[in-house]
A and B are shown apart, each in its own frame.
Chain A
Amino acid sequence: MSAIDQPVRKKDAMALVTGKPVYTQDIAPKDCLVVKLLGSPHAHALIKEIDIGPALQVPGIECILTYKDVPDSRFTLAGQTYPEPSPYDRLILDQRLRYVGDAVAIVAGENEKAVEEALDLIKVQYEVLQPVLDFRRALDHEVIIHPEENWKSLAPVGADNRRNLCASEEVEYGDVDQVISECEWIIEQTYHTKANQQVMMETFRTFTHLDTFGRLVCVSSTQVPFHVRRILANAIGIPKSQIRVIKPRIGGGFGAKQTAVSEIYPAIVTWKTGKPAMIIYTRRESFTSSSPRHEMEIRVRLGADKEGIIRGIDVYTLSNTGAYGEHGPTTVGLSGHKSIPLYGKVEAFRFGYDVVYTNVMSAGAYRGYGATQGCFAVESAVNELAAKMQMDPVRIREINMVRQGQVMPAYYGEKLNSCALDRCMAKAKAMIGWDDKYPCKDMGNGKIRSVGVAMTMQGSGISGVDTASVSIKVNDDGFYSMSIGATDMGTGCDTSLAQIAAECLDCSVENIIVSGVDTDASPYDTGSYASSTAYVTGNAVVKTCAALRQRIKAEGSAQLGCPVEDIEIDGEKVYRVDTDESISLKDLANGAMCGNSNALSATESFSSPVSPPPFVVGMAEVEIDKETGKVDLIDYVAVVDCGTVINTNLARVQTEGGIAQGIGMALYEDIKYTEKGQMVSNSLMQYKIPSRLDVGTIRVAFESSYEPTGPFGAKSIGEVVINTPSPAIANAVYNGVHVNIRELPITAEKVYMGMHKEK
């Protein structure tokens, strides 16, 4: 192989380090109307009266929209394949306001100053309603958050708006109660993970304008251009054919931009006024009115025999979707489906969940998508089981982990064709020096150093749903243009997919020009989420290249005058296998531009019936201050099985970044509300993500399996890397000071209180 498993430089690298104008705001027309939203000051309220008269008088104000001006047809902002599992529960503007920050009015004007002034002058009379802020009490609460008649659930997800229920399900395999009752060792605990912010450095932003033909053009920092096209059509009530969505470079997404957080507002302004419009979310708005991780409370009951073989797992998840149901019915599923299957000897399991509406900001998609929350709960429970049995938590995993070749009943019955989890565990153990360091060492200065472990899996795209298409054409001189619908949001897929194409076409990566995404021009792709790009779009690249090679051979046979069976390609030239005769790809391509009826291009689509899981073993070494409970991360080791690594450097950096985000979730990050539902953690000063000094040393290694259904054996990597830090660090804390932290983040206060409670 020449292009695969290589540290190929990112195609956009030079543009990014020289500060070229490549992001949405950098390339927006100068005459865009400034669009801003008036947010609700109440967590739950009805608009009784709204007076925009004085605000409209402000010089420079172009339009002010209220709930009276928008279609009364509900939709979802979730970027998912139609029919979306997320309920249609939103309007662009609604008379009922469901969280602090929910949009009351849209104001557009010539400059920010005028818009700010107009926002202040809008007079609203609210009928303040009782909010539902405790998600444990939301189900069947007397206050209904979505009482409206036109609320709609398109998919059978067990939703009932009259019960504040966004989704509900229970699946059982075997008789889990019976199996657990027979066990020697039983653990039953409840774990609580908080909502977390993605905090991509580029906040949500979109600009819109009308093109020559009067169509709506939407340029947006999005992971899901094709879904945005449908969402805008649903929201504004215009045909999809009237909409074009373009994605420039994206300043990070991590799932946040799998929800159409910002697009609808400038879009309706442009559609109504005919003028270009732009919305830029401030960091504060990005914190208060966006799409964070679902808060979950997860009850885990598991049973093991006297040797420590885990025989039964029972998981119940209560998920908080907030005011709207974006990604509510789907994230919750991963909390069980991506945690239980790690334990290969389980004879019976049950997985049930309820997803409830509350009056806080709607949750959405964030890297890990529920698996992260489930991983913290189940891995923590396994660690508690090991502690109860006085067994090494690495050992209990070694004897229980799922192995290659097994069928996984808790993972949709899929067979595990590639798995190096055992090798990942062995390598992580050696790298961190587990046997020397477990469980802990008193440093003699009031501090204890200890180690902890967790393992995890994710998927590679959504089986049977995610669809990727790729078009490649041969240009004059024989260079290739590849159009993709997958969105490079910093992950580097423009580069890694070009590597796959270069490998298939025996050419250099530089010879592949990648473009994406413009919904008018790019082939369809569900978008970059669910760890789908390397696997699903990567497979589409392989398929397209195979079809293109046939086309090139056909042209070669025409130009060389021989049967196509006698033709081969070596990347540089097309040649006859039976003679020495050949034609260079350059001459063939140039020749094909004169009097030719055979298009040298191919488009293929790919969808997978399976979603092969990547695996990670994470081990943390922490130092705990016995006096204060403060936890410092010293060392983090992550060993990854993502199948074949496509780009060695991009995969490493992506892993390190995911681990860093996981560390933030474990130790620092917490969205906090007042008792009235006002968010207090609404800036980077309150919502603390790790800086250079907080992440310690992160060391990454790869133990690759070979996934037979993947492109060159590859699986995914984007999401799985965020999952292990929370349970591994919690385990290290336990191994150091015998305190089980079951609610994130693991703050000094909680550790201190735990140390003094359990003494």
Chain B
Amino acid sequence: MLQILNESLIELHINGEIRKALARPSDTLLFFLRERLGLTGAKPGCENGDCGACTVLVDGWPVKSCLMLAAEAIGHEVTTIEGLDKVPIQQAFVDKFAFQCGYCTPGFIMNCQGLINIHPDASDEVIHEWLQSNICRCTSYQEIMEAIRSVLPSQ
């Protein structure tokens, strides 16, 4: 069984690399990514799991990194926005003007990327359901919807 006491060096698989840094048992994955590794793409918006601005992929599934401990991510494949290599959904967000301030955007993009991986055949209903997990205050979500539609093979 994994046991971490006090501050310990942990090893995570992040964006295809092995990254080692100190973590306390109570450190969230979000804190670890931002403060220990300098990966600031995931944004703290509420640190309560409500807004989704800190969404990353864990083994391909979107996870709110403020709700996961860094230690829980050991042995899993974590992908942050910094790990996306100009994937179509990023260009689609630009082309469709799917943001204003951009603060929620990395979270939305990671969520959309998860959807693309897991449900390439997603219907509008599935897209609506997935988009509900993130909040944007600048837009009406319509362009985000258009962006995801434009890159899904099924649409």
Check A158 for interface membership: any CB of B closer than 8 A. no
Complex Cα spacing A282 to B45, Å: 8
A649 touches B136 (CB 8 A): no
The verdict on B94 contacting chain A, using a C-beta distance below 8 Å, is yes
Find the A residue at minimum CB distance from B53: A201
Whether B139 pairs with A9 at a CB distance below 8 angstroms is no
Q: Is the CB of B132 within 8 A of A283?
A: no
Interface window among A11-19, A319-327, A590-598: A11-19
The residue on A at minimum CB distance from B85 is A18
| A26 CB–B CB distance under 8 Å | yes
Chain B 97-142 residues near chain A, CB threshold 8 A: 97, 99-106, 109, 128, 131-132, 135-142
A254 touches B141 (CB 8 A): no
**Chain B residues, CB < 8 A from A12:** 102
Q: Please, what's the 1-or-0 string for A470-509, where 1 marks a CB less than 8 Å from any CB in chain B? A: 0000000000000000000111100000000000000000
Please tell me if the beta carbons of A201 and B135 are within 8 angstroms of each other in the complex.
yes
- Given B94, B100, B131, B141, which contacts A490 in the complex, CB threshold below 8 Å? B100
Task: For B109, list chain A residues within 8 Å (CB).
Answer: 17, 19
The docked-state distance in angstroms from the alpha carbon of A26 to that of B102 is 13
Q: Let me know if B46 and A684 touch, CB within 8 A.
A: yes
- Contact partners of A252 in chain B: CB under 8 A: 100-101, 103, 137-138
- Of the candidates A250, A492, A656, A683, the one having the most CB atoms from chain B within 10 angstroms of its own CB is A656
Q: Which residue of A lies closest to B31 (CB)?
A: A112
Q: Does residue B50 face the partner (Cβ distance < 8 Å to A)?
A: yes
The reply on A25 being an interface residue by CB < 8 A is: yes
Cβ contacts under 8 Å, A757 to chain B: none
Flag if A283 contacts B106 (CB, 8 Å).
no
- Residue among A18, A283, A653, A689 making CB contact with B139, cutoff 8 Å: A653
Minimum CB–CB distance for B105 against chain A, Å: 5
| Chain A residues within 8 Å of B103, by CB | 23, 200-202, 251-252, 490
A19 to B40 alpha-carbon distance, docked (Å): 7
Taking a contact as CB atoms under 8 Å apart, the answer to whether A283 and B93 are in contact is no
- Which residues of A have CB within 8 Å of B43? 23, 201-202, 251
Q: Does A7 contact B (CB under 8 A)?
A: yes
Chain A residues whose CB sits within 8 angstroms of the CB of B128 once the complex forms: 692-693
Expressed in whole angstroms, the Cα–Cα distance for A283 and B91 within the complex equals 30
Q: Smallest CB–CB gap between A344 and chain B, Å?
A: 31
Interface residues on B, range: 35 or more
Q: Is the CB of A657 within 8 A of B132?
A: no
A717 contacts the other chain (CB 8 A):
no
Residue B14 CB within 8 A of the other chain: no
Interchain CA distance A78-B100 in the complex, whole Å: 25
Known: A19-B106, A692-B128, A693-B132. A684 touches B48 (CB 8 A): yes
Q: From residue A34, how far is it (CB to closest CB) to chain B in Å?
A: 11
State which residues 1-44 of A face B: CB under 8 Å.
7, 9-10, 12-21, 23, 25-26
Task: List which A172-209 residues lie within 8 A (CB) of chain B.
Answer: 198-203
Contact across chains for A692 and B51 when beta carbons are under 8 A apart: no
Q: Indicate if B62 sits at the interface (CB-CB under 8 A).
A: no
Q: What's the least CB distance linking B51 to chain A, in Å?
A: 6
Whole-angstrom CA separation of A249 from B93 in the bound complex: 18
In the assembled complex, A231 has its CB within 8 A of some CB on chain B: no
Contact of B102 with A661 in the complex, beta carbons under 8 Å: no
> With A17-B102, A252-B101, A254-B137 known to touch, is A698 a contact of B94 (CB < 8 Å)?
no
Nearest A residue (CB) for B80: A19
Chain A residues within an 8 Å CB radius of B101: 200-202, 249-252, 489-490
Instruction: Mark interface residues in A238-267 (1 if CB within 8 Å of B CB, else 0).
Output: 000000000001111010000000000000
Instruction: State in angstroms the CA–CA spacing of A150 and B20 once bound together.
Output: 56
Query: Residue A654 at the B interface, CB < 8 A?
Result: yes
Give CA–CA (A697, B142) in the complex, Å.
8
Given A685-B48, A685-B50, are A10 and B140 neighbors across the interface (CB < 8 Å)?
Answer: no
Give Cα distance in the complex from A650 to B136, angstroms. Answer: 16
- CB of A691 within 8 Å of the partner chain: yes
Q: Is A659 an interface residue (CB 8 A)?
A: yes
Q: Are B94 and A689 in contact (CB under 8 A)?
A: no
User: Which chain B positions have C-beta within 8 A of A693?
Assistant: 128, 132
Q: Indicate whether A660 reaches chain B with its CB closer than 8 angstroms.
A: yes
| A693–B42 alpha-carbon span in the complex (Å) | 24
Cα separation A25 to B40 with both chains bound (whole Å): 9
Pair B51/A201 contact, Cβ less than 8 Å: yes
CA distance A25 to B34 in the complex (A): 10
CB distance from B99 to the nearest CB of A (A): 6
Which B residues touch A652, using CB under 8 A?
A: 97
Contact of B102 with A18 in the complex, beta carbons under 8 Å: no
CB contacts (< 8 Å) of B45 on chain A: these are 201-203, 283
CB distance from B95 to the nearest CB of A (A): 8
Quote the shortest CB–CB distance from A469 to chain B (angstroms). Answer: 24
Q: Is the CB of A683 within 8 A of B143?
A: no
Q: For B42, B93, B103, B145, which residue has the most chain A Cβ atoms within 10 angstroms?
A: B103
Choose among B48, B136, B138 the residue with the greatest number of A CB atoms under 10 Å from its CB.
Answer: B138
Question: Are the CB atoms of A200 and B137 closer together than 8 Å?
Answer: yes
Partner of A283, one of B47, B99, B102, B136: B47
Contact A491 B132 (CB under 8 A): no
Residues from chain A with a CB closer than 8 A to the CB of B50 are 283, 683-685
A600 in the interface (beta carbon within 8 A): no
Residues of A within 8 A of B100 (CB): 252, 490-492, 650, 653-654, 657
What is the number of residues of chain A that contact chain B, defined by CB distance less than 8 Å?
54
Q: Is B82 an interface residue (CB 8 A)?
A: yes
Given contacts A489-B101, A691-B132, A692-B141, contact A283 B46 (CB under 8 A): yes
Residue of B nearest to A26 (CB): B40
Chain A residue at minimum C-beta to C-beta distance from B141: A692
Verify if B65 is at the interface (C-beta below 8 Å from A): no
- B122 to nearest A CB, angstroms? 14
Docked pose: A201 CA to B45 CA in angstroms: 6
- With A18-B90, A684-B51, A698-B142 as known contacts, state yes or no: A201 contacts B97, CB within 8 Å: no
Is A296 part of the binding interface, using a Cβ–Cβ cutoff of 8 Å?
Answer: no
Inter-subunit contact A201/B48 (CB<8 Å): no
Residue contact A16 to B135, C-beta cutoff 8 Å: no
CA distance A16 to B106 in the complex (A): 8
Task: List A contacts of B46 (CB < 8 A).
Answer: 283, 683-684
Contact B97–A7 (Cβ < 8 Å):
yes
Q: A695 in the interface, Cβ–Cβ < 8 Å? A: yes
Measured in the bound complex, the distance between the Cα atoms of B94 and A10 in whole Å is: 8
CA–CA, A15 and B136, complex, Å:
18
Chain A residues within an 8 Å CB radius of B53: 201
CB of B134 to closest CB in A, whole Å: 8
In the bound complex, do residue B104 and residue A698 qualify as a contact, i.e. CB atoms below 8 Å apart?
no
Q: Tell whether B57 is near chain A: CB-to-CB under 8 Å.
A: no
A199 to B135, CA, bound (A): 10
Cβ–Cβ < 8 Å partners of A491 in chain B: 100
Partner of A13, one of B47, B94, B138, B141: B94
CA distance A23 to B86 in the complex (A): 21
Complex CA distance for A653 and B102, rounded to whole angstroms: 13
Closest approach, in angstroms, between the C-beta of B130 and any C-beta of chain A? 9
Closest partner residue, chain B, to A280 (CB atom):
B44
B81 at the interface (CB under 8 A from A): yes
A206 to chain B, nearest CB (A): 15
CA distance A16 to B47 in the complex (A): 20
With A19-B81, A201-B53, A656-B142: A692-B48 Cβ-Cβ less than 8 Å: no
Ranked nearest first, the 3 interchain pairs of A and B with the lowest CB-CB distance are A490-B101, A19-B41, A251-B103
Chosen A-B contacts, 18 in total, with CB atoms closer than 8 Å, are A9-B94, A16-B102, A16-B105, A17-B106, A23-B40, A199-B137, A200-B103, A201-B51, A201-B53, A201-B138, A251-B101, A280-B44, A490-B99, A653-B139, A653-B140, A657-B100, A685-B50, A695-B140
Residues of A within 8 A of B (CB): 7, 9-10, 12-21, 23, 25-26, 198-203, 249-252, 254, 280, 282-283, 489-492, 649-650, 652-654, 656-657, 659-661, 683-685, 689, 691-693, 695, 697-698
**B: which residues have CB within 8 A of A?**
40-48, 50-51, 53, 80-82, 84, 86, 90-91, 93-94, 97, 99-106, 109, 128, 131-132, 135-145
With A200-B103, A251-B102, A660-B139 given, name 4 new contacts (CB 8 A): A201-B137, A692-B132, A695-B140, A697-B142
